[in-house]
Chain A
Amino acid sequence: MGRVYRAPRYTGPVPDEPAISRDQVERVARLARLDLGPDELDDTTARLAALLGYVDRLARLDLEGVEPLSNPLDATNRVDEDKPRDPLPTERLMTMAPQAHPPFVKVPKVLGDGGGA
Chain B
Amino acid sequence: MDVTDLTLIELRDAIARRDCAAAEAARACLDRIEAVDPGLHAFLQVFRDEALARAESIDARLSAEGAGAVGPLAGVPIAIKDNLCLDYGRTTCGSRILENYESPYTATCVQRLLDAGAVIVGKTNLDEFAMGSSTEHSAFGPTRNPWDRQRAPGGSSGGSAAAVAARLTPGALGSDTGGSIRQPAAHCGVVGLKPTYGRVSRWGLVAFASSFDQVGPFGRTVADAALLCEALCGPDPLDSTSAEVEPPALLATLERPIDGLRLGIPAQARSGGVDPDVSAAFAAACSVYESLGATLVLIDLPNLEYGIAAYYIIAPAEASTNLARYDGIRYGRRARLEPGEDLETLYRRSRGEGFGAEVKRRIMLGTYALSAGYYDAYYKKAQQARRVIKGDFDRALDEEGLHAVFLPTAPGPAFKLGAKTADPLAMYLEDFFTVAANLAGLPAVSFPIGLAQADGSALPVGGQLVARAFDEMTLLRAARMHEAATDWHTQKPPA
Give residues in A with beta carbon < 8 Å to B: 1-12, 20, 24-25, 28-37, 40, 43-44, 47-48, 50-52, 54-55, 57-59, 61, 63, 66-73, 75, 77-80, 88-89, 92-93, 95-99, 105, 107-110, 113-117
Contact = CB atoms under 8 A, between A and B. Distances in A.
A34 B331 contact: no
B137 interface: yes
B344 interface: yes
19 contacts: A12-B424, A24-B368, A29-B364, A33-B327, A58-B310, A58-B381, A61-B303, A61-B306, A68-B383, A72-B197, A77-B240, A80-B237, A88-B104, A93-B104, A96-B330, A108-B342, A114-B343, A115-B342, A116-B340
Interface of B: 41, 44, 101-102, 104-105, 136-142, 197-198, 211-212, 237, 240-241, 243-244, 303, 305-306, 308-310, 312-313, 320, 324, 327-334, 337-349, 351-353, 355, 357-358, 360-361, 363-365, 367-368, 371, 378, 380-388, 390, 418, 421-426, 428, 438-442, 469
B352 to A, nearest CB: 3
B330 A105 contact: yes
A48 B365 contact: yes
A111 to B, nearest CB: 10
Q: Is the contact region of chain A dominated by helix, strand, or loop, or is it mixed?
A: loop
A47 B361 CA distance: 8
B44 A1 contact: yes
Given A11-B423, A96-B330, A89 B385 contact: no
A24 B426 CA distance: 24
Contact of A32 (B102, B367, B380, B439): B367
Given A5-B138, A72-B386, A72-B390, 18 more contacts: A2-B41, A4-B139, A5-B141, A10-B424, A34-B348, A34-B351, A34-B355, A47-B424, A51-B312, A69-B383, A69-B390, A77-B241, A78-B244, A80-B237, A80-B240, A93-B330, A95-B102, A115-B339
A105 B329 contact: yes
Q: Which of A32, A47, A92: most chain B Cβ within 10 A?
A: A32
A18 B64 CA distance: 69
Given A2-B140, A5-B136, A57-B306, A68 B380 contact: yes
Nearest to B241: A77
A48 B364 contact: yes
Given A1-B140, A58-B382, A35 B333 contact: no
B141 A3 contact: yes
Given A28-B367, A73-B197, A67 B387 contact: yes
B398 to A, nearest CB: 16
A48 B361 contact: yes
A89 B105 CA distance: 10
B330 A97 contact: yes
A47 to B, nearest CB: 6
A12 B344 CA distance: 34
Given A8-B422, A34-B363, A105-B329, A73 B243 contact: yes
A25 B364 contact: yes
Contact of B309 (A3, A58, A70): A58
Contacts of A6: 357
B306 A44 contact: no
A68 B388 CA distance: 9
A116 B421 contact: no
Contacts of B364: 25, 28-29, 32, 34, 44, 48
B363 A32 contact: yes
Nearest to B125: A2
A51 B365 contact: yes
